Amino acid sequence: MPPLPRDFFARDTLQVARDLLGQVLVRLLDGERLSGRIVEVEAYIGEDDLASHARFGRTSRNEAMYGPPGHAYVYQIYGLHHCLNIVTEAEGFPAAVLIRALEPLEGLEQMRQRRGVADPVLLTAGPARLCQAMEIDRRLDKADMCAPDAVLFVDAGAPVPDDQVATGPRVGVQGDLRARTVPWRFYIRDHPCVSGRRTTRDVR
DNA sequence: GGATCGATCGGCT
DNA sequence: GCCGATCGATCCG
């Protein structure tokens, strides 16, 4: 099964974020295949988005966001956690989708060992949790997720209909009013693996 | 259930 | 020097 093509990511970031729900994130590791269905994402769009790492312009840390679409942007936060984004839109414009939660599908045993918990819901419900479960760290920053030999990529999954999609403000964003209220978080309604609080609001 | 706090460090204003 | 797109432990009610 080939990964989703670069064209999928070279689109409007809100559209990519919404369409990523239901797709399958795959990590090849130690000859095994770890995977999970994407159930929660957030969009970060341009330097004018005051919640984005690109708000201060291009730096060595956020360089991947300015690169070609379909590549990973992996950063470390609070000194100990990692978060995975997938770069979107045209090269040169800093935008990406943060992968916030998965429903684990394959490789649960390996995930349990890495996470140190047994409950499947707690394996990948949260941006740092899923990175720990799949051993995603800064070595994968800028990795091409559309390459034929990628060890991290997105496979096609069953589409999620609009009536199962909810939106809301992004988690953990503070400060600027627009940045913290704009509904750029997308998640599958009532899914147990979604992290954080669950406001309910329909897509359109 | 909710609020609060510490961990831990690279990048930045 | 300050602080963060988080998590888990702990305390309170």
User: pLDDT by residue (tens digit) across A166-190?
Assistant: 999 999 998 889 999 999 999 999 9
Q: Which residues contact A148 (CB under 8 A, 6 or more apart)?
A: A2
Residue A185 near residue A168, CB atoms below 8 Å = yes
Geometric angle at alpha carbon A122, from A99 and A142, rounded to 5°: 25
Q: Looking at the domain assignment, is residue A46 inside a domain?
A: yes
Protein-contacted bases of chain C (C-beta within 7 A) = 4-8
> In terms of pLDDT, which residue wins out, A6 or A195?
A6
Total domains in the fold of chain A: 1
**Predicted pLDDT of residue A196:** 72
> Is the distance between the Cβ of A127 and the closest atom of strand C smaller than 7 Å?
yes
- Give the model's pLDDT for residue A197: 55
CATH number of A162's domain: 3.10.300.10
Mean predicted lDDT score pLDDT of chain A? 94
Across all strands, nucleotide nearest A55 (CA–C1'): B13
A116 CB-to-strand B distance under 7 Å: no
| A202: in domain | no
Mean pLDDT for the stretch of residues A136-157: 97
Q: Are A37 and A105 in contact (CB under 8 A)?
A: yes
With respect to residue A193, please indicate whether it lies within any of the assigned structural domains: no
Range of the domain at A172: 6-188
pLDDT at A85 over 90: yes
Q: Is the CB of A60 under 7 A from strand B?
A: yes
Structure token pair of residue A102: 């998965």
Q: What is the pLDDT of residue A81?
A: 96
How would residue A203 be classed by pLDDT, with cut points 50, 70 and 90? very low
Place of tokens 């060992």: A113
**Nearest alpha carbon to residue A102 among A77, A65, A132, A61:** A132
Q: Is residue A197 a part of any domain in this protein?
A: no
What gap in Å lies between CA A33 and CA A29, rounded to an integer?
6
pLDDT tens digits along A187-202: 999 999 998 754 433 3
Percentage, residues of chain A above pLDDT 90: 92
Residue A204, in any domain of the structure: no
In a domain, A199, yes or no: no
What is the average pLDDT across A109-132? 96
Question: Does residue A1 approach strand B to less than 7 Å at its CB?
Answer: no
Q: Which helix H or strand E contains A101, and what residues bound it?
A: strand A95-106
Q: Write out pLDDT tens, residues A47-60.
A: 999 999 999 999 99
pLDDT for the residue A201? 37
Query: How many angstroms separate the Cα of A86 from the Cα of each of A67, A114, A192?
Result: 11, 23, 23
**pLDDT at res. A172:** 93
